Structure 1
Amino acid sequence: MGKYILNVPNMSCEHCVMRISKALEEISEENFKINLEEKIVEIETNNLEKVKEKLSEIDYPISEVKEL
């Protein structure tokens, strides 16, 4: 399982945080923290591509990925 920091520049409010949380839970991701101030999602996942696709699908594309 990899740990990543995902930059999500389109995230701007608590509604965005709720939408991202719901989308990640829909694809069975549980180990994540969303930091609205820094516009990042810290996530532990086995399927980074699925996460990236899901966030793009709901109009929150990832601009950068850092592996921890």
Structure 2
Amino acid sequence: MKKTLLVEGMSCGHCEMAVKKAVGALEGVESVVVDLGAKKVEVEGENLKDNLIKDAIEDAGYDVVEIK
């Protein structure tokens, strides 16, 4: 299963690492790819729950605008 999220507020390598760490800690997540230029986060894994991914990113200090 793959989810793509549009995330506002990410601008640097630290932002990328913070999001990867927060989302990567969730159960079922196999990979997290952050594209700072496109403001996208792609998450792959099993049984991914939108609300948990959104909460993890927002707890790290960023705004989730859309989940696909």
Gaps of 5+ in 2: none
What amino acid sits opposite 2:33 in the alignment? K
Match of 1:24 in 2: 23
**Which has the larger strand fraction?**
2
Instruction: Report the Cα offset of residue 30 of structure 1.
Output: 2.3
The residue type paired with residue 35 of structure 2 is N
Q: Please give the TM-score of this superposition, normalised by the length of structure 2.
A: 0.80
Long gaps (5+) in structure 1: none
3-state SS of 2:63 partner? coil
Structure 1 residue 38: deviation in Å?
Answer: 0.7
Backbone CA RMSD of aligned residues: 1.4
Cα distance, 1:44 vs. partner?
A: 2.3
Which whole-Å CA distance do the structure 2 matches of 1:24 and 1:11 have between them? 14
**In structure 2, which of residues 31, 48, 51 is the aligned counterpart of residue 49 of structure 1?**
51
- The superposition leaves residues 1-60 of structure 1 with CA deviations (integer Å, 9 ceiling, x where unpaired) of 3x2210111111111001011111222422221111111001124212111011111111
**Cα distance between partner residues in 2 of 1:58 and 1:31:** 17
Structure-1 residue corresponding to 2:38 = 38
Following TM superposition, where does structure 1 have runs of at least 4 consecutive aligned residues deviating by more than 4 angstroms? none
